[in-house]
A and B are shown apart, each in its own frame.
Chain A
């Protein structure tokens, strides 16, 4: 490992505390931090530990965009950060945010990549060269001239990196960049980061998933309640005892060493049978001839690359979309589209669009007028939401919203439950909570289908895998004894 002690400091925090406007408590307090030139730093910790805020302090958004109050002093490249206007910081610190869907402006790849350079007045003659370079760097030749809106999250993320890259800042800040990516795209992101590091850029990443960073980072900082509690080298992180890792609640650093206890498959009643299902969108076939069976108590991971129709299948199963051909049998009976929602409930990925009440408790009441106070409280306690029951759902964190949508699905209680990426952006403890709870539901006889690209979660939770190989093929295999197969399915595209 390199010794950074002798290098120049690029970012220095001296006793920094920060509070968002209207917040009751400080988001981070008394942080001291010294980041050297060319260093790769990872900030980790549970949801709400303050790691995102720390990234926002470095890119200047915390003070100048979110308009919070900062105490202490941050020095960026030798000058106090408060002396820089926000647009000046942007030239030195490039930021890549969590949700790739909400950080692009232009509709075409090249326009988007040029966006930053245009704002900084890079001369016309230079623009095309910079854009081409940035595209080459992300290996994105096939993205040239394409519309961004229909792209996958992984591709959008690549373009976000390229757009920052074209401005060529010294420092890169990533806020949970892997949250919305599949494993294949995470691998691409990792390679990009490696290249940036080799060019001498300083990189700061706030992240839950650590497995892809162990070969890259120089230091891992563990945060809790707004302060930095521990610091590890990659070796220390990798050799951390499993019990300690789970206790402090961070995600696995090495995916090959996950301890799992895969529930055995019980061939009991077939609750769901799909026969020869086909679907096409505007005359483009999405899939055809898909068949599989699911049993009561099954926890099936649905995997397959982007656009293969995993979400479409879920929509068809719960009656939101109509299949082109094929049959769907619930408990052996063919159920028409209009009545499928009585059998299957689908928890979509976008939590904002699924919450309607003005408080957490009201959210449950909307679908359970006849429930008792006790029933509601129990359910909220089970999902760790009880203390927030008076809060407006919109004020919850991403993870809390995700749990609330799951609580609602419990409440509606259909025999089949389908989840779309229930763990994006969840820390270890919440992932574990959801995993345990889904297993408990399956024990009671529910059939649960989970669209996921989270290997750790799938390995901890599911007993079977439904793998969409291509348009006309899908295979199912039990997870018992075939974890490596799941891993390789998730890694290849």
Chain B
């Protein structure tokens, strides 16, 4: 399934989830909320990510069961386990926003009339994210081939890793900016967008459901606690 919601709907879900995880104390409610969030993600086509999140959550749930309220050694006190599970749920709620295609993010920024000072760097940032890893991995591969990486000289290693990455990033920044300028990015007139950002019927439905679920959980929390 792949239902697309408006970004405002997604933001509402984040805020509601956050307010819930901040007050829910009952484990059962937390675990069922996990299920509700999974459904929310799956209908938007985030099946794979949902499985990953559930596995990580599962690990922490098991850790909590093992610890039985005592925490596991000094490294993982009970409150840490308590917090991580809740932070994970907030990240799950944020997944649809994090996973928005960059084109749509740019459209949203245009829609809300974000100042260029923020909107432009965000555009470039989203563009560069997927390539960062490959830029670094080339540098590491080359360093390994030339046998220049050594733990004995951490400062040299830092220099060798950081310098080429900075040069490369800086060059890409310049070339991208040149390409953007030659395609009119700084045109002062009106910019349009091929992606329409609209609050549709399904968004209304989703918002109503989200609010109802939240209210329900609040009520349950009162009665259970």
Contact = CB atoms under 8 A, between A and B. Distances in A.
B192 A122 contact: yes
B146 A131 contact: no
A65 B194 contact: no
Interface size range on B against A: 35 or more
Nearest to B126: A107
B182 to A, nearest CB: 4
Contacts, number: 158
Contacts of B135: 350, 353
A163 B126 CA distance: 19
A356 B143 contact: yes
B146 A90 contact: no
A40 interface: no
User: Do most interface residues of chain B lie in helix, strand or loop, or is the interface mixed?
Assistant: helix
Contacts of A352: 164, 167-168, 171
A111 B103 contact: yes
Interface residues on chain A, size class: 35 or more
Nearest to A344: B145
Given A110-B194, A366-B146, A115 B183 contact: yes
A259 B139 CA distance: 38
Interface string A340-375: 010001101010111110000000001100000000
A119 B163 CA distance: 34
A460 interface: no
Interface in A81-133: 86-87, 89-91, 93-95, 97, 99, 101-108, 110-111, 114-124, 127-128, 131
B22 interface: no
B28 interface: no
B123 A111 contact: no
Given A107-B102, A120-B187, A167-B184, A102 B176 contact: yes
Nearest to B196: A124
A105 B127 contact: yes
Nearest to B186: A87
A295 B102 CA distance: 49
Nearest to A113: B194
Contacts of B52: none
B172 A102 contact: yes
Nearest to A366: B148
Interface of B: 101-103, 106, 123-124, 126-127, 130-131, 135, 138-139, 141-148, 159-160, 163-165, 167-168, 171-172, 175-196
15 contacts: A59-B182, A65-B177, A65-B178, A93-B182, A101-B131, A106-B127, A107-B130, A110-B194, A111-B103, A117-B192, A118-B192, A118-B193, A122-B192, A124-B194, A320-B145
Interface of A: 59-61, 64-65, 86-87, 89-91, 93-95, 97, 99, 101-108, 110-111, 114-124, 127-128, 131, 149, 163-164, 167, 315, 318, 320, 341, 345-346, 348, 350, 352-356, 366-367, 394, 408, 412
